[in-house]
Amino acid sequence: MPKNTDFCKIVATIGPDTSDEKSIEALVKAGVSVFRCNCSHGSLPEYQERVTNIRKMEKKYNCTLGILFDLQGPKLRVGTFKDYRIHLKEGDKFRLDMNPEPGDQTRVCLPHKEIFAAMKDGLELLLNDGVVRLRVDAHTADTADCTVIAGGELSNKKGVNVPGVKLPLSALTAKDKEDLKIAEMLGADFIGLSFVQEPEDLIELRGLMKSKAHIISKIEKPSAIEHLREIIDLTDVVMVARGDLGVETSPELVPVLQKKIVSGCRKAGKPVIIATQMLESMIHNIMPTRAEASDVATAVYDGVDAVMLSAETAQGDHPVEAVTTMRRIIETVEKDHRYRKGLSLLERKNDATKEGAITTGAGIVATNLDTANVIVTFTDSGSTTLRASQQRAGGLPILALTPNVTTARQLAVVWGVTPIVIENLKNFDDMVAEAKKAVLEQNLAKEGDNVVITAGIPFGKAGTTNMLYVLNI
């Protein structure tokens, strides 16, 4: 059986070596709840294979799995080199230009007029995730003569960052719009929007979407921090994308910004994912570093909804071991009494609605009942379950029972939630029977235990949570 019932969920990126049925089955059994398809790499046949195999595993193990299509966004890259790569030394002179010819030791194409439009003398450019740093000495409308202030290897299509400069770039490229169509055609549950800068980026994406997929806003630009509250309000899920965030700001700021983003999501009641380099050394090593283990544990202690693996599972030598290791770290933290105690101190959304009051009441009742081990939410849209999750009430697991398979898959990324697809309820007796069946099948209750239930009457109408019921098994 899959091991994806931890409170903190695991998102795993899949690549060419982990797209086949056997590999995806192994990852599901290891503990993956959501699979990420990186649209920077892949083709339609590859995406189709991945989605087909994920849905096969969902059916085989009677579980719920989410699928995220992560749009590439306006990633800025240099062109190519005659010999694939060069090595620049501190003090070298190097030119960036619009000439599409392959580069050499003295120059390379930078095919982005937006950067040249924002160019100024003294500007620092970061290449290859900050490994190479250039200072602009002089520039024209299509050239920049630079001095290397930090040397290193530079190869074909490596990324370029311009810290502190807001470039006039849409968050959605022509490629992103085509990838969005593919993602929706294949039934994506989540769409990842890269390099979000302002609320208008989300509004643009919403306007293009035809499906009810949830948007995951990737926070990796300083301008996104400036508009953080508005972005959180407009999105469904937030991802702390620490790679580009660390390059666009500075590495020492990343932990501070991570805390700020997580806190903002907690206050707003929005799920949050921590991503990038969580177990980076496991791309090639069978064991993580102690620092990586601590990094994952810190995210779990902070009460985040999910942690994500990227290259570790997309192209690493030990994808299953990486997931298994991450799961063990999660489980170890979640057994620690300090973790449970910390949950009660987490910031919560102030929800004065009728639905919010019912959910808060359910958490209080469940916490005060010695024999209550689980909260059951009956939901159509998922909002009731999301409210329950944000309460983190007593650190109790949440069973989300829904007739909506899309809702179930979108809840796969939410803290503490095990989503289960059920038939439409007809009456109160159906509700009681479904709740009892679900908690017993999941081994979350036994005879004599109490189960706290929230639901809405009439059944099948979204946004009508109005009932709290305690069921004695």
| pLDDT confidence of residue 266 | 93
pLDDT above 70 for 460? no
E strand map for 151-243: 152-155, 160-161, 190-193, 214-219, 237-241
Helix (H, G, I), strand (E, B) or coil at 316: coil
Evaluate whether 463 touches 355 at the Cβ level (below 8 Å): yes
Query: Both ends of the chain: CA-CA distance in Å?
Result: 25
Residue that wins the pLDDT comparison between 229 and 444:
229
Instruction: Kindly state the DSSP code that residue 202 receives in the 8-state scheme.
Output: H
Mean pLDDT of the chain: 92
Predicted TM-score (pTM) of this structure: 0.91
| pLDDT confidence of residue 463 | 65
Residues 115-149: pLDDT tens digits?
999 999 999 999 998 899 999 999 999 999 999 99
Closest Cα partner for 16 from 2, 33, 34, 37?
37
CA dihedral 147→152→154→159, nearest 10 degrees, is: -80
| pLDDT confidence of residue 464 | 73
Strands 9-14 and 152-155: what pairing? unpaired
| pLDDT confidence of residue 115 | 94
The fold of 85-161 is M1 Pyruvate Kinase; Domain 3 (2.40.33)
- In whole angstroms, give the CA distance from residue 152 to residue 92: 11
Cβ neighbours for 368, distance < 8 A, ≥ 6 positions apart: none
- Cis peptide, bond prior to residue 319, ω within 30 of zero: no
| pLDDT confidence of residue 343 | 82
460: phi then psi, degrees, rounded to nearest 5: 85, 0
Closest Cα partner for 31 from 332, 327, 412, 334?
327
Helix (H, G, I), strand (E, B) or coil at 92: coil
How large is the angle between the packed helices 199-208 and 174-185, nearest 10 degrees? 50
Domain boundaries, the chain: 9-73+171-337, 85-161, 354-472
406: pLDDT confidence band, cut at 50, 70 and 90? very high
- In whole angstroms, give the CA distance from residue 112 to residue 349: 42
Residues 276-331: pLDDT tens digits?
999 999 999 999 999 999 999 999 999 999 999 999 999 999 999 999 999 999 99
Q: Residue 196 has which token pair?
A: 């979000």
Residues constituting the chain = 473
8: pLDDT confidence band, cut at 50, 70 and 90? very high
Arithmetic mean of pLDDT, 364-386:
87
- H or E element at residue 52: helix 44-60
2: pLDDT confidence band, cut at 50, 70 and 90? low
pLDDT above 90 for 166? no
Helix (H, G, I), strand (E, B) or coil at 347: coil
Residues 201-246: pLDDT tens digits?
999 999 999 999 999 999 999 999 999 999 999 999 999 999 889 9
Instruction: Give every strand in the sheet of 398-402, ordered side by side.
Output: 417-421, 398-402, 372-378, 450-456, 465-472
Q: Residue 254 has which token pair?
A: 């990343």
- Domains 85-161 and 354-472 in one fold: no
| pLDDT confidence of residue 5 | 55
Task: Quote the percentage of the chain above a pLDDT of 70.
Answer: 98
Share of the chain residues as helix, strand and coil, in percent rounded to the nearest 5: 40, 25, 35
Helix (H, G, I), strand (E, B) or coil at 19: coil
404: pLDDT confidence band, cut at 50, 70 and 90? very high
371: pLDDT confidence band, cut at 50, 70 and 90? confident
Helix (H, G, I), strand (E, B) or coil at 210: coil
Evaluate whether 44 touches 181 at the Cβ level (below 8 Å): no
Residues 32-85: pLDDT tens digits?
999 999 998 889 999 999 999 999 999 999 999 999 999 999 889 999 999 999
| pLDDT confidence of residue 276 | 94
The fold of 9-73+171-337 is TIM Barrel (3.20.20)
| pLDDT confidence of residue 422 | 93
Residue 176 Cα distances to 39, 171, 205, angstroms: 8, 9, 10
Residues 73-105: pLDDT tens digits?
988 999 999 999 999 999 999 999 999 999 999
Q: Residue 337 has which token pair?
A: 């009494």
Arithmetic mean of pLDDT, 433-445:
91
For 433-446, give the DSSP string: HHHHHHHHHTT---
| pLDDT confidence of residue 209 | 98
The fold of 354-472 is Pyruvate Kinase; Chain: A, domain 1 (3.40.1380)
Burial (0-12, 13-18, 19+ Cβ within 10 Å), 65 = buried
